[in-house]
Amino acid sequence: MDFRAILMGFGFALMWSSAFTTTRIIVLAAPPLTALVIRFALSAVIAVLLARALGQSFRLSRAEWRTVIIFGLCQNALYLGLNWIAMQHVEASAASIIASLMPLIVAFMGWALYSEKLRPIAVAGLIAGVIGVSIIMGVRLQHGLDVPGLILCLIGVVALTFATLAARGAGGSRNMMMIVGLQMAVGAAALLPFAAIMEAGRSVQWSWALVWSFLYTVLAPGIGATWLWFLLVNRVGAVRAATFHFLSPIFGVAIAAALLGERFGASDVIGAVIVAAGILMVQLARIPAAVPQSSDAAAARIDGRS
């Protein structure tokens, strides 16, 4: 992995983690589902226009449409919808820790549902993740962590996990930015009736913090991080790119503490580092070992005959 790929990975993790802090600012000032519908609609328009500028088409294969629907409903409507509702009562740092568990849950569900083998380092990573989260949440529960909000975050990350498992192998499409835009449109359409019914008449506490947080959420985590992610995947592959998720719990807690003044005690630091180590171990276990090959095989591969 070269230096440019490392910078891209750090940039992606930083933008993805910062979304929890800006989301917290948004949902404390505006109806969460209504704000999320607007965010999805704007992101969808921008992503589709970018896709068209890149020469991408609305004509998707059956597998691509399956990805659009699954991710639009599970990732956008369920995962983000539940998180935005929960974060009215749950701190940004706690939500980011729970969301960062997704690679660990994917590895566990892959073993439980698809009989995928877990290497010893992956098992150790899963155990470390459970220990790290237990340390953080155990202390926070004593300090008044909202249990219903915590449950909504957990349901959301499980929905995201199933979306990730169901859409495996759908990468590599030439219409990836179009898929991103269309899945955001699906999320907006799915949440619109709930926003209209549940949040009708709710007021907005306008401020520059709300405006800048919303614009940042649309452009950076919504479009920028997605675009950077696909560039990184094309450069180093999906498995190696996913390794950078280990930075998410550390960045998420640190950004929330710096910008929102949220709790940043010893238990948060220790727990976040343990969770990060667990994610890194699980992701490293998924990277295939290099297979030695003979000079004839290498020559055949270079020549296009392998």
pLDDT tens digits, one per residue of 241-266: 777 878 888 999 999 999 999 988 88
User: What's the confidence (pLDDT) of residue 177?
Assistant: 82
User: What's the confidence (pLDDT) of residue 160?
Assistant: 83
Residue 163 or 51, more confident: 51
Q: Residue 141 is inside which H or E element, if any?
A: helix 120-142
User: What's the confidence (pLDDT) of residue 292?
Assistant: 46
DSSP 87: T
Residue 140 or 172, more confident: 140
Contact 221, 11 (CB under 8 A): no
Two tokens at 272? 């976040």
Closest CA to 86 of 98, 69, 100: 98
* CB hemisphere CA count around 23 (13 angstroms): 31
Of these ranges, 81-85, 100-104, 144-148, the one predicted with the greatest mean pLDDT is 81-85
pLDDT over threshold 80, residue 200: yes
Q: Which residues, in sequence order, are CB contacts of 259 under 8 Å at separation 6+?
A: 21
Q: What residue spans define the domains of the chain?
A: 3-287
Q: Where are the alpha helices (DSSP H) in 144-265?
A: 147-166, 176-198, 208-217, 225-236, 238-242, 248-260
Q: If pLDDT is split at 50, 70 and 90, which confidence band does 57 have?
A: confident
pLDDT over threshold 60, residue 187: yes
pLDDT over threshold 60, residue 294: no
Integer angstrom CA distances of residue 187 from 23, 32, 79, 97: 17, 14, 10, 23
Dihedral sign (CA 73, 76, 81, 82)? positive
> pLDDT exceeding 90 applies to what percent of the chain?
45
pLDDT over threshold 90, residue 86: yes
Q: Which residues, in sequence order, are CB contacts of 170 under 8 Å at separation 6+?
A: 63, 64, 66, 67
**How many residues are there in the chain?**
306
- Angle between helical axes of 3-27 and 92-99 (0-180°, round to 10): 130
pLDDT tens digits, one per residue of 35-51: 999 999 999 999 899 89
DSSP 57: -
Contact 13, 251 (CB under 8 A): yes
> What is the Cα–Cα distance from 100 to 160, expressed in whole angstroms?
11
Q: If pLDDT is split at 50, 70 and 90, which confidence band does 172 have?
A: low
Average pLDDT of the chain? 85
pLDDT tens digits, one per residue of 208-220: 999 999 999 988 8
> What is the Cα–Cα distance from 180 to 54, expressed in whole angstroms?
13
Number of CB atoms found within 10 A of residue 88's CB:
14
> What is the average per-residue pLDDT within 133-154?
90
